[in-house]
Each structure stands twice: as C-alpha cells, then as structure tokens.
Amino acid sequence: MNNFRKYFSESTLSLILGVLVVLVLGLVAYKIFKGRNVVPTELTQKVTEVSTPSGELTSPTASVALPVEHTVTAGETLWSIAQRYYRSGYNWVDISKANGIKNGNKIAVGQKLTIPEVSVRKPVAVSSQVKVTPVVKSSAISTEKYTVLKGDSLWSVSVRAYGDGFRWKEIASANKLVNPRLIHAGNVLTIPRP
C-alpha cells in the first residue's frame, strides 16, 4: 500500500475510486433498465377520439366476446392490453381491478389476466369556455379604526387605507404588533392618518 501511495497522491486515488464507483453504478442501472418499456407507444400517440361531455363511457368496440382470459407477453402493459380489447387504453383500470392488481406497472410475462366486460372509457372533452367571476373590489378605508376581515393582510389593509402597500409598517407600528404577519379577523386596527 505504501508503494502505491508513492506513485499516486490521495486526491488521485479518490478520483480513481470515484470513477470506478460511477462506472459500477452505471452498469447496474443499465442491467436493471435494459429491456424495460418505459413509455408505452400508445401513450405517445395523439388522441383523436373524444366523446361528448354527456357520454363519458361508450359501448365496447372490440370484436372479441368478453370476458376473456389473456396471457401477458413480453413488452405488454395494461394500457396496451386495454387498447387491444377495448380500443381504449383508459380501460387499463378495469383490467387492474378485475385481477386485483395494485400496481399497474407490475405485470409479468406469462401472467394470466381476466379481461372484463365493461364499457369503453374515452377521454372527456374539456370545455374551452372559461367562467369569469367578477372580482369584488374592496372599498377604501377612510376611518381611523378598521376591523380586520377574514383574508385581510396588513398589505391589503394598507393598500385600501393609503393606496400604497408598502405603508403596512406604519399600521404595524401604530398597533404595536409583535408579529405583523399574524392578524386575525375581528381585530380592530388603528389606521394612522397624516
């Protein structure tokens, strides 16, 4: 060991050991994830069918009489199996429930799954109309006393009293507040006037 230290400094040894650790971890990660289908191709395809908001579920379009038993093959996911039988990957949830699968990512090659007879799930179109709710503007504070309402902050009170949120410090000082961030509904604040 001492001969080895003659040729390499401590920082060089640390660098070499660090590189070895990174290489070993990289190889282990490669072995673990090597053949795993991370994102099913069905998820990357554009959704072209959208049902009306009143009909979230439609009848099955598959030509196979359900229920049926399916044996999982390499590369299959619950999504791809649902695509095959229902022409909708969203039915993977029904397959999972029918087979008592708690984690949909953990199905094994050769595993037998019951494909239940259920309605086909389709994505529901989201309305592009946005509801606009009017903002109720708080009235200006013109009195020297103000009762705090739920949702008030010193900043909002200062804006309503002075038209300037940065003057909240004046209100905090006039009321000898220990913690200016903490005011409660029902508190009566003195609003200093020039």
CATH hierarchy code of domain 56-121: 3.10.350.10
Where is pLDDT greater, at 41 or 50?
A: 41
Residue 171's pLDDT band (boundaries 50, 70, 90)?
A: very high
pTM: 0.36
SS3 state of residue 130: coil
Q: What is the pLDDT of residue 193?
A: 87
Tens of pLDDT, residue by residue over 89-144, are 889 999 999 999 988 888 999 999 999 989 888 877 776 677 776 665 668 888 99
Q: How far is CA 2 from CA 7, 18, 38, 59, in A?
A: 9, 20, 48, 78
59 vs 62: CA distance, rounded Å? 9
How does 76-111 read in b/e, with b if 16+ C-beta sit within 10 Å? bbbbbbbbebbebbbbbbbbbeebebeeeeebeeee
Q: What is the pLDDT of residue 55?
A: 42
Q: How far is CA 133 from CA 50, 128, 130, 136, 137, in A?
A: 28, 16, 9, 9, 12
Topology (CATH level 3) of domain 145-190? Membrane-bound Lytic Murein Transglycosylase D; Chain A (3.10.350)
